Amino acid sequence: MRKYLARRALFALGTLVGVSLIIFVVLRILPGDPLVAILGVEGHARMTPADRVRIMHDLGLSDPLPVQYVHWLRDIATGKLGKSFFRGDTVAELILHRGPISAEIGFLALVVSWLVGLPVGIVSAIKPNSWADNVARSLAILFIAIPGFWLSMLIVLALLFWFGYKAPLIIVHVWESPWENLQIVIGPAIVLGLAQGAYIARMSRSCLLEVIGEDYVRTARAKGAPERQVVLGHALPNALLPVITISGVLLGFVLGGSVAVEQAFGVPGLGRSLVTALIERDIIVVQNLVLLYAVIFVLVNFVVDLSYAWLDPRIRYA
């Protein structure tokens, strides 16, 4: 198990170094001048070459690329992650303020996806091709197909025009006011959770169907075990392994999807910060947020790998 752990950890680290290099290089070769966003179009038009040299130097953008990369690593090591080009806030401050909201949305989305996806998958698997199965499968396809940002906009508009309702405009953390906090996170969590729930429903259905046909399930039934125990106690734990794996992958979709969904709901989370930073070409913020997303994704998959190995001994001894 230790060897397995070390090997996975090494892969994870290598992935992160690779991601950091790709983000760093891509952001620096993309066209577009960050000084347009800093100085505005009028200021940018009036900037002299001497002004440009001075400002680029102040921002640390005139250093050679390897030096800039080392500076970034140094900023990561200090925990501040560097400063935004613009208002001078550190990226760590930004993450500390907005991260909890995005984390809540991600966590709730995952909970929603399991709460919805798993029962639907079980019902579908127990009664395949019944009307319940057909409805469940149709809904699953629907939620996979609908773009999250579009559904979000529909929800925002429906709430506004039917109930005159709009969620709080600024971040309210759960420890400040749980009720207001819930109003901010619940919409994006449901939209993201339903989409992922559809995947989980389909995956759990097919896995459960496969497991239900296994010999040991037939044996359990032959021994007279009640159907509930057969399904939930014997078949489901084994059918869950691929579902756990896919949940790790789906978290990546949740992170990616949150960018558009936060924007549509007007939630000032990290996803929205990433969009704004891209528009402003605030490359320090972009590179750190993308790296953060990569770290989360790699970590979750690392944990999934470990839990998989823990749940199925064949994997860790392979």
Asked if 40 is part of the footprint of other proteins (rule: CB under 8 A), the reply reads yes
Residue among 58 and 312 whose Cβ is closer to other proteins: 58
Cα angle 230-199-127, degrees, rounded to a multiple of 5: 35
> Which residue from 2, 29, 45, 228 is in contact with other proteins, where contact means CB under 8 A?
45
AA identity, residue 202 = R
Task: Give residues 64-123 in contact with other proteins (rule: CB under 8 A).
Answer: 86-89, 94, 97
Work out whether 63 is an interface residue with other proteins (CB under 8 A): no
Alpha-carbon span 125 to 135, nearest angstrom: 13
**Residue 68 CB, nearest approach to other proteins (Å):** 19
| Spatial CA neighbour of 259 closest among 299, 286, 295 | 286
Binding other proteins by CB under 8 A: which of 3, 42, 223, 228? 42
The distance of Cα 43 from the centroid of its chain, to the nearest Å, equals 37
Report the C-alpha gap between 221 and 4 in whole angstroms.
Answer: 37
Please state whether 214 falls in left (phi above 0), alpha (psi between -120 and 50) or beta. Answer: beta
| Nearest-angstrom CA–CA distance, 238 and 274 | 39
- Applying CB under 8 A, does 209 fall inside the site for other proteins? no
Q: Which is nearer to other proteins, 10 or 154 (CB)?
A: 154
Number of residues that bind other proteins (CB under 8 A): 47
- C-beta closer to other proteins: residue 113 or 181: 181
Question: Which residue type is seen at 309?
Answer: A
Neighbours of 130 (CB within 10 A): 12
Q: Pick the closer one to other proteins by CB: 6 or 158.
A: 158
SS3 130: coil
Site for other proteins (CB under 8 A): which residue of 9, 21, 25, 54?
A: 54
CB of 50 to other proteins, least distance (A): 5
Judged by beta carbon, residue 89 or residue 227, the one nearer other proteins is 89
Distance CA 271, CA 86 (A): 18
> Which residues within the stretch 230-289 sit at the binding site for other proteins (CB under 8 A)?
266, 268, 272-273, 276, 279-281
Per-residue binding letters, 20-39, with other proteins (x by CB under 8 A): -----------xxxx-xxxx
CB of 118 to other proteins, least distance (A): 34
Q: Going by C-beta distance under 8 Å and a sequence separation of 6 or more, which residues neighbour residue 11?
A: none
Judge contact between 253 and 195, C-beta under 8 A: yes
Rule CB under 8 A: which of 142-181 touch other proteins? 153, 156-157, 160, 164-166, 168-171
Q: What is the dihedral of CA 60, 85, 288, 183, to 10 degrees?
A: 170
Residues near other proteins (CB under 8 A) are: 31-34, 36-48, 50-51, 54-55, 58, 86-89, 94, 97, 153, 156-157, 160, 164-166, 168-171, 266, 268, 272-273, 276, 279-281
